[in-house]
Structure 1
Amino acid sequence: MDKKRSCCCGELPAMWWWLLTLLGLPLLFFLMTAARQGVVEKDLTTRSSAALKAAGMDWATVNLEQRGRDVQLHGMAASAPARDAALKTVQNVYGVREVQNLIEVAAAPAQEEPVQVAAPVASTEPVQASAPAPLKSPDFSLQMVEGKIVLQGVMGSQQEIDAAVKAVQGAYGTMQIDNQMQLADGVAPADWLNSVVGLLPALQGLENASLKVSASGNSIGGDLPSDADKAGLLAKAQQVLGAGIADQLAVKAPVVPEPTPMPTPVAAAPTKVEPAVAPTPEQQAVTNCQQQLNDAMTGKTVLFETNKSAIKKDSLALLDSLASIISSCQSSIAGRGIQVSGHTDNVGNDTYNQKLSQQRAGAVKDYLVKKGIEGGLITSVGLGESKPIASNDDEAGRSQNRRITFDINPQ
């Protein structure tokens, strides 16, 4: 039996089928290339524009529409080097084949003739432009007056004034601060502010403390108990503010009691013994609360991640017990408050240590507040390395100096 032929295929010779196949392949390649071209042009447009923007050449634009990988570069350049730089930037974009640089260079503005001023003499001279007025120097002063801290000075930004006030509050805690600093235009930045902030913790305990920083000269003053204390504070101040700082520090003279003349022997009168004044119930309650805090911290310390203010999980149980004690004593210490103080050893920069101790004290306060303690009852203070309780010459002593303390404020 004869096999039936297809109605279409059987009527075309094989040569025609080969011819149709050869003509269809280029058509298929063209269609695939056209579909891919739009994706390539969009990608190169995006990356070339991003490269120009990153180089600060937003004035230049690219065009790849129906151009495949060949780029047209348009725009108005301020100079020929700027035009060449834009060309090089696009040429360096991966995938770009050729760049047609159509960027124009703006014409340089015509230079004006110098203005001449008539003078009584025959010669004339060009008018000289006046130089801008120089910036004024900032200044800062701190003075302890009648139990409060008075701040004075002039700075060019409110941020600098706020930073100075915050640093003084961190150093002196609950002591009253009278901020008389002024904000003014045309004042240069206070580049020395961070260094002065790092010096403030060292002024704690200095009677009649004073500190002045200005273009006319720096000075430090106050009363210290010994020559050694004076030498140590002066050395730290010279390290921060330079060797030329004026030394107004004084050592308090020891009080020598005057000799008591021998009385003429007389018959001894009966001595009346005054009874000891017993503490009030409120005072006794405060004393008991402080003792509970001391007992809870005996042999223990709040641990932090190295060089961070993040509290380690091992110390959370200790803080929970302290929060419980403070909560039970809240009514007794409501009018006084508690100072949480951060301390470090002397390893590293003074400013860094003070800042780290402040951050750690703040982290402890935040944790206690989360445990229900009223935020206004707690003050966090960073004392850095200013109050060691052991020698910093060995690791055992330094470990004791890295600590957090809890003290009920005196009324």
Structure 2
Amino acid sequence: MNRMIILIVGLLALWALFEFGGLAQAPVIQADIQSRTEAAIGAAGLDDVVVSADGLDVNLSGTVADDAEVGQATDVAAAVRGVRSVNSLVTVKAYFTQFCKDDSRILLTGNVSDEDARTAFPERAQDMFRYWKVEQDLTINENSPNGFRRFMDQALIELGQLDAGCITLNNRALSVSGSVRSERALTGIKERFDALSDLGFTVSYDLKLPELSDQAAACQAEANRHVEPGETVLFDFDSDEIHAAGQQLLDAVVEISKLCPDVHVLVTGHTDSIGDKDYNIALGERRAEAVVNYMVSKGVDAGRLTPVGLGFSQPIADNSTDAGRSQNRRIEFRAREE
């Protein structure tokens, strides 16, 4: 009997030793698990992943560049000796770039792919928007989406079509918001982004058109119906001479304007970026005046037409190429209230 009691007491003592000894060692084991997992995560270059251990279980949080690194973080932690399970709340870091325009500023913020892009975007913006102050707060993030540079080059061009607003890239989703001067300008923005659909970005629009009277809106719609998107009066370099093709287009605009006798039309003359600001404003105004004079000669009341020179402030194409500069030397029409 005494032997049985001694055996039971001995077994209880051994159980207590293992149980309470294990409890005493638990914080040490947990700290060891966390330390070795942190070292493994760091060695894998996942510097923004945060590790916390709960006993033998590991929790991961923080951000990484892409989905592949999300899986990599889990695999690295699971491979650490002694880890029982891994709970991952790691997310992909957003790739965010935004170009904004208001009455006086162009603001470029967010991520760019490399130092060349960080230098090139502000330089191009200053060349395109010489009337505006260009400010930038761009940081280099090499994990840019495929096609980033080509797509955002186009975004900078389309910023010129907005009276005010922002073009924002969040990973592979682009949003265009603000105000745009005409339905034709809105259509042009969509068509040019659609032409880059092979790059795999999605584009959404939240753009407001100017409010027009019923007659002005109808007149603008009629003009849009008769004039093909992208079709306009173009000019040779440093010239305000209207070519025969431009005269044919103006003849159609004249007939449309006669259907809307109470609507006034803003005729804007645009240039490429070669030359200084003041010269190009004057050249744009001469082009607008040449168009107004032609329309008046065809019977349109001069009081309904207002010529304005905008120079190179609203490009629709890349001024670094001959083809782009040719498209920017143009006339646009906008129905407006008195």
Query: If the TM-score is normalised by the length of the shorter chain, which range does it land in?
Result: 0.3 to 0.5
Give the TM-score normalised by the residue count of structure 2: 0.38
Give the TM-score normalised by the residue count of structure 1: 0.32
Larger Rg: 1
- The structure that is helix-richer by fraction is 2
Specify which structure has the bigger relative contact order, considering alpha-carbon pairs within 8 angstroms and separated by 6 or more residues. Answer: 2
